[in-house]
């Protein structure tokens, strides 16, 4: 396959991913595990709700709320519209944002502008993104630096997606020796590297290995939200690949389990919880379990595809839901959610 053919195939795949996620049922039938937890209601919070403080920081950058628009898309005209709407919302509300895999921008520089959102989000904590497996397919420090420079990004997300690649027709499945290459990249790249799954979770053991390799933060991206095995199954023309995606549709570690097990072995690592979070209550539970940021993807995608107004309504609702949890647990700030007795396993 020529470079031009490869770029065209990648662009088609990106368009398919957006269409499938917006139009098909590609959600896990298993849960995030967050439903196993309930907050203890405080009938006398001794707080003025207006004084509840959601501010935080991540990787040294201040945020008005501990929310992340998780990495999703880029490379098509619809993706450009969505990315710029998301970036404007992130700027307005001072929350963090990631973009989808920028591999396509390296293959086809004419689509680089679909990612370049810094012009509308000058102050946002912004994450560049590439599949870690591409380090085994002729990508290295130079390409990663180009991705960071394109976004003027504060960090680079390396996403780990062995199941998705195994189900994807002609997926990149050579993951041999990647940890060593990740370690070399972490040493050389001038911005932090974040290791992220895509919806199947990161175990405590793997988190320890990634941190030892030099990764600065972990995004658990656990099971319970969008199943990329299902997404690739919907796209597949090969019956074998379609069956693989159906068989492994619910494969992975639930998000809640990822958070608690990683936090037990890495109590201070900057930790992002994503994977099936759908509202501010889910986000609050993830934060109470030990996450520093709560990442959502599908709710932001659906709202951004609808309109700027729908996106603004969503962010305001997430902030209102988070604030209500803090108020009704007597927690003046995010850190107080982690006090003993605030969140109970049921």
DSSP for 126-152? EEEEEEGGGGGTT--HHHHHHHHHHHT
Out of 232-241, 249-258, 277-286, 314-323, pick the least confident. 232-241
Domain with 60, as residue range(s), is 3-345
C-beta of residue 76 within 8 angstroms of C-beta of residue 17: no
CATH code for the domain of 211:
3.20.20.70
pLDDT digits (tens, 9 = 90+) for 17-49: 767 677 778 798 889 999 999 999 999 999 999
C-beta of residue 317 within 8 angstroms of C-beta of residue 39: no
pTM confidence score: 0.95
C-beta of residue 23 within 8 angstroms of C-beta of residue 325: no
Q: What is the pLDDT of residue 4?
A: 57
Q: What is the pLDDT of residue 20?
A: 65
Q: What average pLDDT does the structure give for the chain? A: 94
- How many independent structural domains does the chain possess? 1
Whole-number Cα distances in Å, 128 to 56, 112, 158, 245 = 21, 12, 9, 27
pLDDT digits (tens, 9 = 90+) for 60-78: 999 999 999 999 988 899 9
pLDDT band at 51 (very low <50, low <70, confident <90, very high): very high
Tokens describing residue 137? 């397919």
């Amino acid at each position: 396959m020529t470079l031009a053919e490869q770029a065209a195939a990648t662009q088609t795949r990106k368009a398919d991913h957006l269409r499938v996620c917006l139009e098909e049922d590609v959600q896990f039938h298993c849960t995030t595990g967050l439903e196993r937890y309930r907050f203890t209601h405080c009938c006398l919070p001794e707080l003025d709700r207006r004084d509840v403080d959601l501010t935080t920081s991540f990787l040294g950058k201040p945020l008005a709320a501990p929310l992340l628009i998780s990495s999703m898309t880029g490379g098509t005209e619809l993706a450009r519209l969505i990315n710029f709407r998301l970036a404007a919302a992130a700027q307005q509300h001072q929350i963090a944002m990631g973009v989808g895999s920028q591999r396509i921008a390296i293959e086809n520089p004419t689509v680089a502008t679909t990612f370049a959102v810094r012009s509308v989000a000058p102050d946002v904590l912004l994450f560049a993104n590439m599949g870690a497996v591409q380090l085994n397919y002729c990508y290295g420090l130079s390409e990663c630096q180009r991705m960071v420079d394109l976004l003027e990004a504060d960090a680079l997300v390396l996403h780990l997606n062995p199941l998705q690649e195994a189900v994807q027709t002609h997926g990149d499945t050579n993951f041999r020796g990647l940890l060593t290459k990740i370690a070399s990249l972490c040493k050389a790249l001038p911005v932090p590297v974040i290791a992220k799954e895509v919806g199947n979770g990161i175990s405590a053991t793997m988190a320890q290995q990634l941190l030892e390799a030099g990764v600065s933060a972990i995004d658990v991206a656990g099971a319970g939200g969008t199943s990329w095995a299902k997404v690739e199954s919907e796209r597949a023309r090969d019956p074998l690949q379609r069956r693989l995606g159906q068989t492994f549709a619910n494969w992975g570690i639930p998000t809640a389990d990822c958070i608690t097990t990683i936090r037990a072995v890495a109590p201070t690592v900057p930790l992002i919880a994503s994977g099936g979070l759908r509202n501010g209550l889910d986000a609050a539970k993830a934060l109470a379990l030990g996450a520093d940021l709560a990442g959502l993807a599908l709710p932001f995608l659906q709202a951004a595809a609808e309109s700027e107004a729908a996106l603004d309504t969503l962010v305001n609702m997430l902030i209102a839901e988070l604030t209500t949890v803090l108020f009704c647990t007597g927690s003046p700030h995010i850190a107080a959610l982690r006090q003993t007795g605030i969140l109970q396993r049921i």
